[in-house]
Amino acid sequence: MTENFMRELSRRDFLALSAVTTGGLLLAACGAPAAVAPAGLAGKPVENELNIYNWSQYLNPDTLKQFQAAHSGMTVKQDTYASNEDMLAKIEGGAKGYDIVVPTGYMVKIMIEKNLLYPIDHSLLTNYSHLDSRFTQSGYDFGNKYSIPKDWGTTGFGFRKDKIRQGMTSWKDFFEMAPHFSGKISVLDGANEVIGSTLKYLGHSYNSDSDQELSAARDTLLKFKPHVGHIDSANYKTLLANGDLAYSMGWNGDFAAILALTPSPPVQYVIPSEGSEYWVDTWAVLRTAPDPVAAHTFINFILDPKIEGLEANYSYYANPESDATPFITNGIPKDPTVYPPQSELDKLESNKPTPKGQRMRDQIFAEFKAA
Amino acid sequence: MARLAKLPAPLLLAPAAFWYLAFFVVPIGFIAVFSFLTSADFGGISYQLSLENYQRLAQSSVFLKVFANTLWMAAGGTALCLLVGFPLAYFLATRAGRWKNLLLVMLIVPFWTSSLTRTYAWLILLGNHGPLASVLTQMHLLHGDLNFLYSYSAILLGVTYNYLPLMIFPLYVSLERLDKRLIEAAKDLGAGRWRTFRRVTVPLTMPGIVIGSLLVFIPLMGEYLVPSILGGARSFMIGNLIGDEFISAHDWAFGSALAMGVILILMVLITIYFRVARRVTSAELAL
């Protein structure tokens, strides 16, 4: 694989790396963070440091360069994580020094409930008005009090057109064609993605917490498991692009990035006809942030449509600002993988498990992995 | 050294004692305490005493299954290390001559690189598009995909490769110390090669075998990086399960109970292992 390919690849980090970085901090953690209501930030000086804790390859290096050019003297550091859960474990474990994190909508809600996020000071975000209005009314954080939408996408699957000539359109295909492609199938390493998809296949809600529906999902998954070759959120792109997989569950931007390779591999992304997940990733400031003004300055900088365009060109994920569209190149705004038509969007749900549903998902997923 | 020898024992023991207290006893204490508490929703611990985690553990078929999986991997890896390591250690101790030091250094050299990097290297070497596959295909020994990666064999290869030196060094030390005159004596008394090996060499190097196997087996029971890189979807080890409970499922209390369960079972297994090893050694020597 070329270096370029690796660069474009990952919203999610290497599994192994995440295991190394998170392994050490399990024990540091007890006690909740102090609940201090922060005062308004307007008029306070910008700190000269900024620490971003982000998914890997999820911030355009050019964006960083331009930001640093505009704020000379500021040191920006970035550290990466591989899943929302890894990030939460580390922050809850007492990791200090980070200013900005990038949680997905459902994780924003959890972090708000755990009192881990700094209320956004909207007076510092002069570019906020560029956001499309539907991104200011999300259920996980209505009015963006604690988080600012970064980009959005869908969870579905991609398949090799050269191996599956009849094509695939649904979760039904995903689960029922498995015996023909045993070992050449991969699913995401996430309880909610895997179990949510199974629930959709069975005709239930992505977020069901009914015992009966979840137990049916469990049975389906245990029957499906012998055919699963990989449970992985990072390497599936490479494996699919190489032809080592027949089909793979994943996030749309990853498949868009594969398709942008030259030559483009015969891969097609599918939003399954039964429906699937729609997610929004956000910028959020931590309550423990040592540099809250710099963090707001950075988020405001990103909200500039020109910069949002840079971001979309790098990550292949859809942007929450229509104003950014003129700055997005490579035909991305017209790519149905990145911007699905409204008819497909209507079938999607966002991930918002109940505590009970989450516990059951985690147990079923452990059983699935062990099978 | 002479000065060190005059230091009082407590002073000599202090650094290690502090180290073990801070980085072993205290963390294990946390785990032990957490295992009797309750997990809060979406992570964290709520300070509520409960035996529920152990009840779940006792009923958990997943735990038993994953533990058995891990035991199978660790036992296989240890056996393979012994099988590959013993002849090599024997050679080093008895026949290597002036090459001995060079060979010993060569055993260590790979460890100058991170084991993660070396394990990823196997992904490239053994992949369906890697050098091994292309050589075999060109020699017409392979038709279609190699399909070696992401299997139990791939995991065994990876762990044996990573842990072999831990086996070789204790074996080498005990073989080196072996009094060669005893082997000559056995031969003089009419024992064949195999009999000498079985009755003299093996019993006398038993301490090395016992320690080497333990040094490989114990960390293998906690190994989860190599299996998750080389093992695909069939690589779920007890270490992965505990890690997932802590990080993905955010169930620290149950994760702690799992960890305690592993520690307890391993303690029992290792006690049995030492007893058997001692009995075997003394029985062999008595004959």
Mean pLDDT value of segment B170-197: 91
CB contact, 8 Å: B173 with chain A?
A: no
pTM, two decimals, is 0.85
Contact A249/A228 with Cβ under 8 angstroms?
no
With a CB cutoff of 8 Å and minimum separation 6, the contacts of A102 are A53, A54, A55, A58, A87, A150, A281, A282, A283, A284
Average pLDDT, chain A: 88
CB atoms within 10 A of CB A65: 11
CB contact, 8 Å: A194 with chain B?
A: no
CB atoms within 10 A of CB A301: 15
pLDDT in tens, A142-199: 999 999 999 999 999 999 999 999 999 999 999 999 999 999 999 999 999 999 999 9
Inter-chain contact A20–B116, Cβ cutoff 8 Å? yes
Among B residues 50-89, those touching chain A with beta carbons less than 8 Å apart: 62, 65-66, 69
Inter-chain contact A370–B43, Cβ cutoff 8 Å? no
CB atoms within 10 A of CB A4: 11
A26 chain-B contacts, CB cut-off 8 A: 246-247, 252
Q: Nearest CA to CA, how far is A314 from chain B (Å)?
A: 26
With a CB cutoff of 8 Å and minimum separation 6, the contacts of B15 are none
pLDDT category of residue B5 using cuts at 50, 70 and 90: low
Inter-chain contact B128–A242, Cβ cutoff 8 Å? yes
User: What CA–CA distance (Å, rounded) separates B234 from A369?
Assistant: 8
Instruction: Please give the pLDDT value at position A3.
Output: 35
B37 chain-A contacts, CB cut-off 8 A: none
CB contact, 8 Å: A88 with chain B?
A: yes
Inter-chain contact A358–B42, Cβ cutoff 8 Å? yes
Inter-chain contact B42–A114, Cβ cutoff 8 Å? yes
Range with the poorest average pLDDT among A115-124, B21-30, B141-150: B141-150
pLDDT category of residue B46 using cuts at 50, 70 and 90: confident
ipTM of the complex: 0.85
Cross-strand bridge partners of residue A285:
A100
Inter-chain contact A355–B246, Cβ cutoff 8 Å? no
By the 10 Å C-beta count (0-12 exposed, 13-18 middle, 19+ buried), A17 is classed as middle
Inter-chain contact B241–A370, Cβ cutoff 8 Å? yes
